[in-house]
Amino acid sequence: MSDESQELGITESKSHKPGEWYAEVVQKADLADYAPMGGFIVTKPRGYALWEAIQDALDGWFKETGVDNVYFPMFIPESYLEREKDIVEGFDPEVAWVTQGGHDELEERLAVRPTSESIIAPFMADWTRSHRDLPMRLNQWCSVVRWEATETKPFFRTKEFLWQEGHTAHASNEGAWEEVWTRLGQYERVYEDVLAIPVLRGKKPEHDKFPGADTTTTVEALMPDGKSVQGGTSHNLGQSFAEAFDITFADEDEEEQTAYTTSWGLSWRAIGALVMTHSDDQGLVLPPTVAPTQVAIVPIWQEDTKDDVLEYAEEIAEDLEDAGVRVELDDRDGRNPGFKFNEHELNGVPLRLEIGPHEVDDEEVTLVHRPDNAESVEDRDEIVDAVDEHLDDIFDKLYEAAEETLEDNVREAHSPEEILGTIGKHGGYVKTPWCGDEACEEVIKEKIAAEIVMQPLADEGGSTAGEVPEPEHDECGVCGDPADEIAYFAKSY
Ligand SMILES: [Zn+2]
């Protein structure tokens, strides 16, 4: 290995030092860098492109299902934040405050939004007069700030992060539930169909739901290091925000009614989950669905074959581009093919096409898959269809590997020792009957920092929406008391 390729390559190991490895991949694959202030990052073009891919998919689905985009101020007056007391208490230690504008002290402090219910709800109240105004579905793409004093981990733990937050109002609780499931389903779809990450779908335990919410639903993704990532949450807020902010409407009989509201959010943590799930010791691995470059063509020439090889490669690049493939012809003179292979590997380009004099003579192309180096040869004439099929194969390989990890890592346990031992040894999820008492979570949390990340849902419609199914065993896996709920314990990001 030359010095140059050593500098390019990843030096940490995913299995031995996942934290260090992750930080190195994010920086060396040019996704993000650290800002001068602790807790903030700079998102680089290749990292932002991943966010745009997620954004494009979700934004399209939101609009197809009745959502309008809006933009509200990043500051919230303190008196507004205080109108819903659970929000104040829930976010209190993490709120950043503006107290001065220019040289003048402000009469009222302004919170930098930790989430926007408190600024959006009063306007929804203004805009909602009659049942004909409902449902009202608003979404904004923005950043929020939560001043957590933890070690910075790009896309996982930063004080400011990008997300979307949806806010809706409905005439009935059934309408609100339907909304909650629609958005949770779209989050599930973005993980599974766009990011190639299977997720578990469920709700958060009562003590861990969004401040002020009736129910918080979640999609959870299992990372290869055995920890769970909360991938996106969709909250049924019941009537608490509608009551606090007077979101009322005249029903069909002209009677005044209080609305039901929901909110739902997915952040750039999805990028963190993406990097963590698929990448390896050679660098970034991306599914073709989101890869800024899907195909890298590397021509391999000697002086006497250069013109022929380049011409052949250029024609193939044009054909692929015309077919809508994001393709890069890497015809840089000063780099040898080995260096180029390493660089495209590090950057997570899903498919590499190698073209040398041999390929030109035989009218063929050599294709190499990024995730596993699987190599095959295809006819030049059928290259567009072949590339399409290979990109699909690569997506399937990534999804199947992640699915296997998930399936192998949901285990049952029926005593505190068993829960602790199983998570300690294997990580992953431990499924156990639970009495519903937070104290039982504490027992596990104190010993190994694992908590209840998810409870499976019995029924996603009707009057029992949000209830969890009855466990087969009826004794709490921690205290042994009667249990009528199921809980999934895991360590989490
Ligand atoms: Zn218990």
Estimate the share of the chain in helix, then strand, then coil, as percent rounded to the nearest 5: 40, 25, 35
CA–centroid distance, residue 487 to ligand 1 (Å): 11
Confidence at residue 398, expressed as pLDDT on a 0 to 100 scale: 98
Say if residue 19's pLDDT is above 80. yes
Do residues 235 and 217 make contact, with C-beta atoms less than 8 angstroms apart?
A: yes
CA–centroid distance, residue 209 to ligand 1 (Å): 19
DSSP string, 110-142: EEEPSSSHHHHHHHHHHH--BGGG-SEEEEEEE
pLDDT band at 459 (very low <50, low <70, confident <90, very high): low
CA–centroid distance, residue 472 to ligand 1 (Å): 15
Confidence at residue 119, expressed as pLDDT on a 0 to 100 scale: 96
Please compute the mean of the pLDDT values over residues 378-402 and round it to a whole number. Answer: 98
- 250 forms beta bridges with 130, 256
CA–centroid distance, residue 489 to ligand 1 (Å): 13
Say if residue 462's pLDDT is above 50. no
Say if residue 392's pLDDT is above 50. yes
CA–centroid distance, residue 454 to ligand 1 (Å): 16
Q: How far apart are CA 25 and CA 19, in angstroms?
A: 10
CA–centroid distance, residue 480 to ligand 1 (Å): 6
CA–centroid distance, residue 287 to ligand 1 (Å): 41
CA–centroid distance, residue 467 to ligand 1 (Å): 18
CA–centroid distance, residue 464 to ligand 1 (Å): 23
Q: Is the dihedral of CA 320, 321, 323, 325 positive or negative?
A: positive
Say if residue 4's pLDDT is above 80. no
pTM: 0.94
* CA gyration radius, the chain: 26
CA–centroid distance, residue 478 to ligand 1 (Å): 5
Q: Which of 448, 381, 395 is nearest to 420 (CA)?
A: 448
Q: Using the structure block, give the residue that is written with the tokens 């992953």.
A: 428
Q: How far apart are CA 323 and CA 397, in angstroms?
A: 23
Please compute the mean of the pLDDT values over residues 356-376 and round it to a whole number. Answer: 97
Strands (E) located in 183-342: 200-203, 215-222, 228-236, 248-250, 256-258, 260-267, 295-299, 327-329
CA distances from 13 to 22, 34, 282, 345, 453 (A): 9, 21, 9, 16, 27
CA–centroid distance, residue 416 to ligand 1 (Å): 10
Strands (E) located in 171-323: 200-203, 215-222, 228-236, 248-250, 256-258, 260-267, 295-299
- Determine the residue type at 74: M
Backbone angles phi, psi at 335, to 5 degrees: -120, 140
CA–centroid distance, residue 459 to ligand 1 (Å): 23
Q: Is the link from the previous residue into 205 a cis peptide, with omega within 30 of 0?
A: no
Backbone angles phi, psi at 142, to 5 degrees: -160, -175
CA–centroid distance, residue 473 to ligand 1 (Å): 13
Could you give the residue ranges of the DSSP H alpha helices within 33-96?
45-64, 78-81, 85-91
Structure tokens at 485: 């709920």
Average of per-residue pLDDT values in the chain: 94
375: three-class secondary structure by DSSP? strand
CA–centroid distance, residue 237 to ligand 1 (Å): 27
Backbone angles phi, psi at 95, to 5 degrees: -85, 135
pLDDT band at 461 (very low <50, low <70, confident <90, very high): very low
Say if residue 2's pLDDT is above 50. no
CA–centroid distance, residue 262 to ligand 1 (Å): 30
Please compute the mean of the pLDDT values over residues 33-41 and round it to a whole number. Answer: 96
Q: Which of 222, 198, 225, 274 is nearest to 13 (CA)?
A: 225
Q: Using the structure block, give the residue that is written with the tokens 């949450």.
A: 233
CA–centroid distance, residue 152 to ligand 1 (Å): 34
CA–centroid distance, residue 205 to ligand 1 (Å): 13
CA–centroid distance, residue 474 to ligand 1 (Å): 11
Say if residue 88's pLDDT is above 50. yes
CA–centroid distance, residue 395 to ligand 1 (Å): 41
Q: How far apart are CA 357 and CA 25, in angstroms?
A: 34
Say if residue 470's pLDDT is above 80. no
pLDDT tens column, 191-219:
999 999 999 999 999 999 998 899 999 99
Query: How far does CA 275 lie from the centroid of its chain?
Result: 10
Q: How far apart are CA 214 and CA 285, in angstroms?
A: 39
Confidence at residue 90, expressed as pLDDT on a 0 to 100 scale: 83
Confidence at residue 473, expressed as pLDDT on a 0 to 100 scale: 66
pLDDT tens column, 420-433:
999 999 999 999 99
Please compute the mean of the pLDDT values over residues 70-77 and round it to a whole number. Answer: 98
CA–centroid distance, residue 439 to ligand 1 (Å): 7
CA–centroid distance, residue 208 to ligand 1 (Å): 16
Structure tokens at 108: 């009222």
Structure tokens at 162: 């990008």
Do residues 91 and 114 make contact, with C-beta atoms less than 8 angstroms apart?
A: yes
CA–centroid distance, residue 444 to ligand 1 (Å): 11
pLDDT tens column, 307-333:
999 999 999 999 999 999 999 999 999
CA–centroid distance, residue 490 to ligand 1 (Å): 16
CB neighbours of 231 closer than 8 A, spacing ≥ 6?
Answer: 187, 191, 197, 199, 218, 219, 220, 221, 266, 269, 270, 273
CA–centroid distance, residue 404 to ligand 1 (Å): 31
CA–centroid distance, residue 85 to ligand 1 (Å): 29
CA–centroid distance, residue 216 to ligand 1 (Å): 21
Q: How far apart are CA 218 and CA 229, in angstroms?
A: 10
Q: Which residue has the higher pLDDT, 229 or 6?
A: 229
CA–centroid distance, residue 433 to ligand 1 (Å): 8
Structure tokens at 265: 């959010």
CA–centroid distance, residue 475 to ligand 1 (Å): 8
CA–centroid distance, residue 417 to ligand 1 (Å): 14
CA–centroid distance, residue 436 to ligand 1 (Å): 6
CA–centroid distance, residue 414 to ligand 1 (Å): 11
- 490 forms beta bridges with 451
Confidence at residue 469, expressed as pLDDT on a 0 to 100 scale: 67
Residues above pLDDT 70, as percent of the chain:
95
CA distances from 181 to 93, 217, 218, 464 (A): 31, 9, 10, 13
Do residues 115 and 213 make contact, with C-beta atoms less than 8 angstroms apart?
A: no
CA–centroid distance, residue 100 to ligand 1 (Å): 49
Poorest-pLDDT segment among 88-92, 443-447, 488-492: 88-92
Structure tokens at 374: 């699987």
